[in-house]
Amino acid sequence: MANKVYEENIIELIDGTKITVGPSKIKYLRGILDSFNKINKDSTEDEAIEIMVESVRIAMQEFYPSISDSIESIEDNLDIKTVYKVLEYCAGIKINSDQEETVENQAKSQSDGSSWQDLDLVKLESEAFLIGAWKNYEELERSISMPELISILEVKRELDYGDKKFAAAMQGVDIDKDKNDNAWEEMKKRVLYKGKDASDITNLRGAKAKKAGFGIGHGLGYEEVVG
């Protein structure tokens, strides 16, 4: 089986309709996170949930436009646990209704800890844009998700580095000597692992999990215990 850049998941509407969702394209992810980050320390539970539903409405513009015309339409078609699933699958926002911590406090914590505002997305998109696969940045953002952008940049940087290493070696220079990828690795950790340690085996999913030997490509099962 071919490797995947990201995992897709199935959600089910109240009427039984099944929809395949995955990481939102950057165009929609911008809207989802801009909406979600409106949750602040003063938000009540009702306000936090309304903002989350609005974030899901934006996600559905990509995956199921027929229910994305209003918050009411989302509320009519998705139960609250499915709302949480959409936030996780599409934007990496994890809300667990079974935890002792209230939903609004979890949401506030996720919003406060978001690295989205700190990410120099324009710089990353500009680097990818040099490939020449898109006619403008609007098309780029509608075409790829963050995991896809990171994967593209990884390959591009590996190829560029290989060319530089070969040219340097021809002149007797070892450019690996002072190589420092800390900034790049930290950025990947924030985007792909929501700030967690990228070397933590509990973060492995899909092909990476299979390669590491944890199950049949499903990652290592574990349970977070709230003390």
Report field, pTM of the whole predicted structure over 0.75:
no
Within 13 Å and on the Cβ side, how many CA atoms surround 122? 2
From CA 93, how far away is CA 108, in angstroms rounded? 11
Residues 12-69: tens digit of each pLDDT:
999 999 999 999 999 999 999 999 989 988 889 899 999 999 999 999 999 999 999 9
Decide if 26 contacts 191 (C-beta within 8 A).
no
- Kindly state the helix (H) or strand (E) to which residue 12 belongs, with its residue range: strand 9-12
Tokens of 138: 């609007």
In this structure, are residues 113 and 195 in contact, taking their beta carbons and an 8 Å threshold? Answer: yes
Query: Which residues, including other chains, have CB under 8 Å from residue 27's CB and lie 6 or more apart?
Result: 62, 138, 141, 142
Spans of all domains in the chain = 9-115, 121-195
